[in-house]
Structure 1
Amino acid sequence: MTDYRCAVCGARSPVESLAWCCPRCHGPWDLDFTAGPVPRNSCAGRAGSLWRYEEALPLAATGATGGGPGTVSLGEGRTPLVPLTAAVTAKLDFLMPTLSFKDRGAVMLAELARRLRPRRVIADSSGNAGTSIAAYCARAGLDCTVYLPEATSPKKIEQIAAHGARPELVPGDREAAARRAHAAADEDGSFYASHSHNPYFLHGTKTYVYEVWEDLDGRLPDVLVLPAGNGTLLLGAHLAVAELHAHGLIARRPAVIAVQAAAVAPLAAAFRAGREDITPSAAAPTLAEGIAVPRPPRARQILSAVRASGGTFLTVTDDQIRAAQLDLAARGLFVEPTGAACWAAVGAHGLGDRTAVVPLCGAGAKTGLAPGA
């Protein structure tokens, strides 16, 4: 295993230490890891999971390309691309085993924890990350506790418990749940399966772009439209684009359009003001609960990634999200409100004549229709 490296101050720590953030400055970890080139023409004969891209993953399965015996997997990934317009294609990541894109990162964290053998796994979530971590910990035979805001969807709480994890409801908002998880993660023998702090999660979400690249015959669209709460899918996509470009597997990098809910948009505000970091916003109610993050730990990295791509930030209102969810349902695609945010941004702001891929990140079965829809 490679070492962790602090994204803020550069301090290092062995992965085996179970330190969930930099002890010096409390910044999030990155990995000292260099991905190898993925041979696209060889992918067809590999396992139908994200392990098919093992050359690009920091936890490659020993001795078996595409996942070996004992490697944690639920067959995640390989989600289809479905056209929405002549230029815009949706990637149906709500068809993952736990019905959200978070499975891409959760499988990496569960495999890492399986190798480290902690006493217990800790997670915090507004719902989808928690259900993913719970499912993959069940697959790996790991003890798991998930801290959740008390307003979390009952269906998501039920799903977490069904997988054998312990859902702990915390009075207050998403940040209150995170604080409880941080305290528990500091206890000896605890592995913090944090989708926002642990970089292995990002190396799982980057397979989203590897799949797009494979399915579009070695190309990427002009634009990747991506949600931006904690930025885990966006930063994973940024990693993948950089790796593909470095290995000469794509000729140009797509622009990234990052989407935030208008009610909680600290990243969009910082981008428009030309700042390198956010001014934390207050928590506020929004239909897009999954991206309503007032203080994303990797804010500086998210802003840098969007700027480096030549992209921008867009915000969407709850009315626009509600309309987008209904529009997708009318096309046969039922997603949760957060999962409709990127399509709402395309409908509200347009993309010109550029081609784009939009993720549909979470299934509508988890939440039902948005109120008023």
Structure 2
Amino acid sequence: MTHALPGYVCPDDGTRADARTAPWCCPVCGGPWDLDFTPDPASALDPGSGPNSLWRYGSALPLPGAFAVTLSEGNTPLVPLGERIHAKLDFLMPTLSFKDRGAVMLAEVARRLGPERVIADSSGNAGTAVAAYCARAGLNCEIFVPEGTSEKKTEQIRAHGAAVRPVPGGREATAVAARAEADLPGVFYASHVFNPYFLHGTKTYVYEVWEELGGRLPEALVLPVGNGTLLLGAALAVEELARRGVRPPALIAVQAEAVSPLAAAFAAGAEDAEPVEQRPTLAEGIAIPAPPRARQILAAVRKSGGAFLTVPDDALRAAQRDLAGRGLFVEPTAAACWAAVGPLSPANPLQGRTAVIPLCGAGLKSGLTP
């Protein structure tokens, strides 16, 4: 039996498209797609009776019918980091980062569409996840990465059988190179930024927090933001759970001080972000000078009553070492939220609220910062 895939809708101009034939972006404005899908709040949501993967939230996910692609992703533990802060250990995913949540959705969509080749652009973690799940699905895959990407990350991508194409320049140049091939015949562009199925995978992060906290959410969710795929997925889940009577938390977004266009726009009261210079930072995973979903990210944080925080590299370095001293070895980007709200933070941004932070990527991917 063939099940229809929910289609795409442009959040800016309302353009609609069939997921099976749509271009990778809105043909009218060139922006990213949203998904024409809203879970039924009356549908049963009993994750305890589902499979040991994020597919146990099937009634809230946009892929109807039986799924075939999985590495038992999700279900990562929640551990206390202090009296009122918990950390969710998403670096314990199969490819050692939270990007598995979205990559498994994209691979399942691609499997159903049957392309000749899957491509993606990434600074490392998303590409690794897409490569792994494409391998699981039996799909040919090519990952575009910036020159200078950590060898540990490119080795992991190649280990999954994907081709690696280094691109001169930074993260934006890499995205441009991939998008130049995205609409070629037989290509599925597994973009973790433009394809909304990815966001419906990352939203399971919040469903798991809700499950692990006994059917509630903390007063604040603190989230690292570059392209905003985890924050926007979290915002989706918060809205969906609110329809089921769950009290929504504030969304606290964290950016690297060196590259923080969203924090600057938020502080200025702007609805969109102006591009900024690509500057070096230890938090390479969130160093995005022109996020395509900037308007949505800013709107989501404001709607939640949240805020933006920025952290300098010396704070990232200290937070990474502090977490390692607590038994949690993560990459610098993954330490950003702890740098912003942990005990080393010079302020008290949480103001006594309960909070959950994600530890998104394993330290083995990049090592300990000097």
User: What TM-score do the two structures reach when normalised by structure 2?
Assistant: 0.96
Return the letter of the residue paired with 1:89: H
Deviation for aligned residue 1:36? 2.7
Cα shift readout 1:191-240 (whole Å, capped 9, x = no counterpart)? 10000100000000000000000111100000000011000000000000
Instruction: Name the stretch that deviates more: 5-14 or 147-156.
Output: 5-14
Give 2:52's aligned residue: 48
Number of equivalences: 361
RMSD (Å), alpha carbons: 1.0
Aligned residues: percent identity? 68
Letter in 2 for 1:353: G
Gapped regions of structure 1 (runs ≥ 5): 63-67
Does the Cα contact within 8 Å between 1:2 and 1:32 map onto a contact in 2?
yes
Matched to 1:9, the amino acid is D
Q: Are the equivalent residues in 2 in contact too, given 1:18–1:190 (CA < 8 A)? A: no
Are residues 1:242 and 2:239 paired?
yes
Whole-angstrom distance in 2 between the partners of 1:19 and 1:294? 24
Matched, 1:30 2:34: yes
CA distance in 2, matches of 1:315, 1:55: 36
Partner of 1:65: none
Is 1:102–1:132's contact at 8 Å kept on the other side of the alignment? yes
**DSSP 3-state at the match of 1:260:** strand
Deviation of the 1:186 alpha carbon:
1.9
Deviates more, 1:74-83 or 1:45-54: 45-54
2:300 equivalent among 263, 284, 305: 305
Report what 2:201 is aligned to.
Answer: 204
**Residue matched to 2:88:** 91
Residues 1:14 and 2:18 are matched in the alignment: yes
Q: 1:137 aligns with which of 111, 114, 134?
A: 134
Report Cα offsets for 1:124-175 as digits up to 9, x if no partner: 0000000000000000000100000001000000000000000100111111
Indicate whether 1:369 and 2:357 are aligned: no
CA distance in 1, matches of 2:155, 2:65: 32
Which residue of structure 1 lines up, in the alignment, with residue 168 of structure 2? 171
Residue 278 of structure 1 pairs with residue 282 of structure 2: no
Correspondence 1:3 to 2:7:
yes
CA contact (8 A) 1:3 1:14 kept: yes
Superposition map of 1:106-121 within 5 A: 106-121=103-118
Match of 2:186 among 174, 178, 189: 189
Matches of 1:173 and 1:198 in 2, distance apart? 21
Query: Residue 275 of structure 2 aligns to which amino acid in structure 1?
Result: P
Q: Which amino acid is the alignment partner of residue 145 of structure 1?
A: E
Which residue of structure 1 lines up, in the alignment, with residue 219 of structure 2? Answer: 222
User: Which residue number in structure 1 is paired with residue 70 of structure 2?
Assistant: 73
Q: Secondary structure at the match of 2:181?
A: helix
Give how far 1:305 is off.
Answer: 0.1
2-structure distance, mates of 1:247, 1:352: 27
Q: Separation in 1 of the partners of 2:358 and 2:65?
A: 27
Query: Residue 24 of structure 1: CA displacement?
Result: 1.1
Answering whether residue 237 of structure 2 is matched by residue 233 of structure 1, we say no
Q: Secondary structure at the match of 2:338?
A: helix
2:353 match: 354
Contact 1:54 1:61 in 2 (8 A): no
Matched to 2:262, the amino acid is: L
Gaps of 5+ in 2: none
Q: What amino acid sits opposite 1:309 in the alignment?
A: S
Deviation string 1:242-277 (CA, Å, 9 cap, x unpaired) is 0011122x1x21001000000000000000000000
Deviation per residue, 1:20-52 (Å, 9 max, x gap): 101111010001101134645x32222110000
Aligned equivalents of 1:270, 1:175: Cα separation in 2: 19
Q: Which amino acid aligns with 2:39?
A: A
* Residue identity in the other structure for 2:215: G
Give the residue type in structure 2 aligned to 1:143.
N
Distance 1:330 1:60 in 2: 44
State whether residues 2 and 31 of structure 1, in contact with CA within 8 Å, keep that contact through their aligned partners in structure 2. Answer: yes
Displacement of 1:18 in angstroms is 4.2
- Say which SS state the counterpart of residue 252 (structure 2) adopts: strand
Give, as a single letter, the amino acid of the residue that structure 1 aligns with 2:94: P
CA contact (8 A) 1:18 1:191 kept: no
Deviation at 1:8, TM superposition (A): 1.6
Contact preservation (8 Å) 1:6, 1:29: yes
Cα deviation per residue 1:82-105 (whole Å; 9 max; x = unaligned)? 000010000000000000000000
CA contact (8 A) 1:8 1:28 kept: no
Aligned to 1:326: 321
